[in-house]
Structure 1
Amino acid sequence: MSTRPAPSRITPPIEPRSLSHRDGDWQQAMRDAITDIDTLFAELSLPQAYKPAARRAAELFGLRVPRSYVRRMQPGAIDDPLLRQVLPLGAETESHPDFVADAVGDNASAAGDGLLHKYHGRALLVTTGACAVHCRYCFRRHFDYAGQHAGGSHTEAAMARIAADDSIAEVLLSGGDPLSLSNARLEAIGRRLDMIDHVQRLRLHTRTAIVLPERIDSGLIEWLAARRARCVVVVHVNHPNELSAATIDALAAMRKTGALLLNQAVLLADINDDVDTQVRLSEALFEAGVMPYYLHLLDRVRGTHHFEVAETDAVALMQTVSGRLPGYLVPKLAREGAGDEAKSVLGIRARPAAAAGRKNPEG
């Protein structure tokens, strides 16, 4: 568990403003994303000594980061908590025996049509391999998107499997990132799922809504509002500095459709593995109308070992966090393992009042 000072906060406004961008702006922003190491270093005035290793790591897993996300970073700060999530590092090229290509067992559930059915009552559609940002800790950085996605000719097979299995009450749209798809493509998927009566919930997992808030345009808002099934949007915020004013506006627009907004984060060494950052994150999410949901231990994917926080340290961290927040703002600390029937939620025991430093009788 890190003892370093938490980075400075970008304070979000209490009252979100209305969306100001035009439909289609997000597609241009996607095209304008930084994909070149030299450009990223120039934009942020980063120390040149890190550039050779960044180039080597980017050859294994390419760089992609929206410019609006880069503008939230502190120029010249190689340890900026947002930069650390997207900057290729030499550590990614190192081999560790416990870090593998498929840490969560996706391949064992794949049938070639993009539908992953690992957990009872829920099925996941890999809608696309595209994403607005390449997070360096991505658990699908080695996934075979070319052979395993629910696009093109695979769509019919995936929908037929969902329709034939009435145990599937919830469908998750994932990827990549489903919000990399056009509104027209999302509408085609949504229409098909609306026709399957036993699908009662539709869940979107997205990082794009956070790093590229332009994506939340009026067409997407109409899509969310029009669905028969109840919509749940699970966003991915790891650090309070990611909650820019534009992002908060986008979250507010989605919430007004009636969608439930949840957050799941990943616990990352030297980025958010300190008490103050976790407390500020939960409080900032709540201000933005998003409920903390999961805090994941790192999936042990090849090339990501430098992000790992030991389980004992993670439990100790969240035990302290639970003493500073009401229970509904404490995300569940979880780990996902290949072949498990569900995520493993790690229990956090309350400390005695004297050890916690204060009484918290309301929980």
Structure 2
Amino acid sequence: MGTKRGEINGKNMWGGDLFSSSEKEEPPSIIISQKVYFWQKFPLYENVSPDEFLDYRWQIKNMIRTPEHLFNAFPFLTEEEKKNIEAVAKIYPILISPYYLSLIDPYDPNDPIRKQAIPTIDELFDTESIYDPLEEEKDEAAPGLVHRYPDRVLLITTNFCPTYCRHCTRKRILGKGRTVKSLLEFDKVLDYLREHPEITDVIVSGGDPLTLPLHKLKMILDGLKSIPSIEVVRIGSRVPVTLPMRLYDRELLNLLSKYDFLWLNTHFNHPNEITEYSKRAVLNLLKIGIPVNNQTVLLKGVNDDVDTMRKLFKGLLRIKVKPYYLFHCDPTKGVSHFRTSVYKGIEIMEGLRGHISGLAVPTYVIDAPHGGGKVPVMPNYVISMSEDKIILRNFEGMIFSYLNKPSKRKNKERGKKEEGILSLFEGEREYLIPVENLRMKRRSEKSNP
């Protein structure tokens, strides 16, 4: 029998048994050496021991689900804030893990984690946004399966998360909505994947798939593993950020270690979310051979400045998490108060490229409306271009002339017309039309009946 990924002859790559049942789980030493734990600043948790607080079962059992529970757990709200939270909760549900709540500075009304977790009245004053800006439901090919790109699909497996982020793109399905609910529905998903062997990459998302019961998670991963054309499975999870102790569980880790095709994309938005607890969760994934990438969302009042982003991305590299995407905040209903200008995103990218390691620089993208997919948006480093020369600028603002190898001479020598952009430069065409442009096709048919 072969060894599992992350194992060498039954041992993990760092020595010792791989999450053996006899291994005693301990919280990070840097934390337990403190006399007062960070969660004990909240009266509701002042008598909660590390053994309880670091048990994901205790976390799930004690999640904040109602305004009243939030008021008890977070007794730092004004009467007006309480009234507003009650109004918002009638439309958009509340769910916060005790761990994530405890990361908030209770005396800072602008705390970046508070803004992501605790509702505000701004969620109800959004007249411009829509519930499904990415039109995922229109691209649903099977229950919970969104097929947009040629070779990959998105599988929405649950609508439950350890914390309902106030900026969530799928705000419409929190606590409800379209997910894979049964074996029969999942069979339809697998049938579709078998019928489309061009699909090689599956993003397993939600909600948060790492909150699923182990037997259901195993069913999903086994099903995907049974399809030869599936090469990569990416789990989208914020568990390392909002419920890291879920990844201290040996049963879950041993299950995940059985699948060679797994990657994990997580969602750190602020340096304050990088803790010894989240670091340990990431390390446990790395130990079993699962690479970890990060997808940050640009959020007004949370991380919309260069210094915060530099600190975040450098901090992620230190815990071996690769910054992958910086998403412009989607125009989702109830989220508009988090949105910045695109110029702000470009400004931040200008402040990253060349100023921190290239490994720490994500790709800034806009998810285009109507299911258009991710569109990279970057600062323009090409000032001007001609047939034989390009004028470039670098991150310092220096401007350079760079020789451009000619590409038109072969065509000219053979008497051929230029094609593409060069044909516009040469004046041989006034415009270029994509081959499948239906609007121009209709014009042609109208003029040539």
What range describes the TM-score normalised by the shorter chain of this pair? 0.7 to 0.9
Q: Is 1:167 aligned to residue 198 of structure 2?
A: yes
Q: Choose the corresponding residue for 1:211, options 222, 233, 242.
A: 242
Distance 1:31 1:112, change over 3 A: farther
Distance 1:72 1:92, change over 3 A: same
CA distance in structure 1 between the aligned counterparts of 2:139 and 2:273, rounded to whole angstroms: 33
Q: Is 1:301 aligned to residue 301 of structure 2?
A: no
Distance 1:288 1:353, change over 3 A: closer
**Corresponding residue for residue 26 of structure 2:** 20
Structure 1 contact 112–147 (Cα < 8 Å) conserved: no
Q: Is 1:226 aligned to residue 258 of structure 2?
A: yes
Structure 1 contact 265–295 (Cα < 8 Å) conserved: yes
How far off is 1:30 after superposition?
Answer: 1.3
**What is the CA deviation profile of residues 2-47 of structure 1, one whole-angstrom value per residue up to 9, with x for unaligned ones?**
xxxxxxxxxxxxxxxx953799932331121112334434434423
**Corresponding residue for residue 8 of structure 1:** none
Distance 1:89 1:65, change over 3 A: same
Q: Name structure 1 gaps, 5 residues minimum.
A: 1-17, 357-363
How far off is 1:339 after superposition?
Answer: 3.7
Q: Choose the corresponding residue for 1:313, options 314, 336, 344.
A: 344
**Corresponding residue for residue 416 of structure 2:** none
TM-score (norm 1): 0.87
Q: Name structure 2 gaps, 5 residues minimum.
A: 1-23, 28-50, 382-392, 399-449
Q: How many corresponding residue pairs? A: 337
Distance 1:349 1:150, change over 3 A: same
Q: Choose the corresponding residue for 2:272, options 231, 241, 244.
A: 241
SS of structure 1 residue aligned to 2:215: helix
1:132-147 alignment, distance < 5 Å = 132-143=162-173
Q: Is 1:127 aligned to residue 127 of structure 2?
A: no
Structure 2 contact 354–395 (Cα < 8 Å) conserved: no
CA distance in structure 1 between the aligned counterparts of 2:67 and 2:176, rounded to whole angstroms: 25
**Corresponding residue for residue 11 of structure 1:** none
How far off is 1:196 after superposition?
Answer: 0.6
Q: Is 1:114 aligned to residue 144 of structure 2?
A: yes
1:55-134 alignment, distance < 5 Å = 55-97=86-128, 99-111=129-141, 113-134=143-164
**Corresponding residue for residue 37 of structure 1:** 67
**What is the CA deviation profile of residues 329-356 of structure 1, one whole-angstrom value per residue up to 9, with x for unaligned ones?**
1111111123445310102245646548
**Corresponding residue for residue 344 of structure 1:** 375
**Corresponding residue for residue 5 of structure 1:** none
CA distance in structure 2 between the aligned counterparts of 1:192 and 1:178, rounded to whole angstroms: 15
Distance 1:191 1:353, change over 3 A: closer
How far off is 1:232 after superposition?
Answer: 0.9
SS of structure 2 residue aligned to 1:343: strand
Structure 1 contact 239–281 (Cα < 8 Å) conserved: yes
| Higher-RCO chain (CA-CA 8 Å, sequence separation at least 6) | 1
Q: Which amino acid aligns with 1:344?
A: V
CA distance in structure 2 between the aligned counterparts of 1:285 and 1:170, rounded to whole angstroms: 25
Distance 1:171 1:280, change over 3 A: same
Distance 1:250 1:147, change over 3 A: closer
CA distance in structure 1 between the aligned counterparts of 2:175 and 2:67, rounded to whole angstroms: 24
**Corresponding residue for residue 423 of structure 2:** none
CA distance in structure 2 between the aligned counterparts of 1:19 and 1:316, rounded to whole angstroms: 44
CA distance in structure 1 between the aligned counterparts of 2:164 and 2:187, rounded to whole angstroms: 29
CA distance in structure 2 between the aligned counterparts of 1:74 and 1:146, rounded to whole angstroms: 31
Q: Which amino acid aligns with 2:256?
A: L
Q: Which amino acid aligns with 2:96?
A: V
How far off is 1:138 after superposition?
Answer: 0.6
How far off is 1:160 after superposition?
Answer: 1.0
What is the root-mean-square deviation in Å for CA atoms of aligned residues?
2.2
SS of structure 2 residue aligned to 1:232: strand
How far off is 1:88 after superposition?
Answer: 0.8
Judge which range, 218-227 or 204-213, deviates more.
Answer: 218-227
SS of structure 2 residue aligned to 1:82: helix
- Which of the two has higher C-alpha Rg? 2
Distance 1:215 1:112, change over 3 A: same
**Corresponding residue for residue 262 of structure 1:** 293
How far off is 1:219 after superposition?
Answer: 1.8
Identity of aligned residues (%): 26
Judge which range, 20-29 or 99-108, deviates more.
Answer: 20-29
TM-score (norm 2): 0.71
1:3-14 alignment, distance < 5 Å = none
Structure 1 contact 34–64 (Cα < 8 Å) conserved: yes
Q: Is 1:52 aligned to residue 83 of structure 2?
A: yes
CA distance in structure 2 between the aligned counterparts of 1:255 and 1:137, rounded to whole angstroms: 28
CA distance in structure 1 between the aligned counterparts of 2:395 and 2:271, rounded to whole angstroms: 28
How far off is 1:147 after superposition?
Answer: 5.6
Q: Choose the corresponding residue for 1:282, options 300, 310, 313.
A: 313
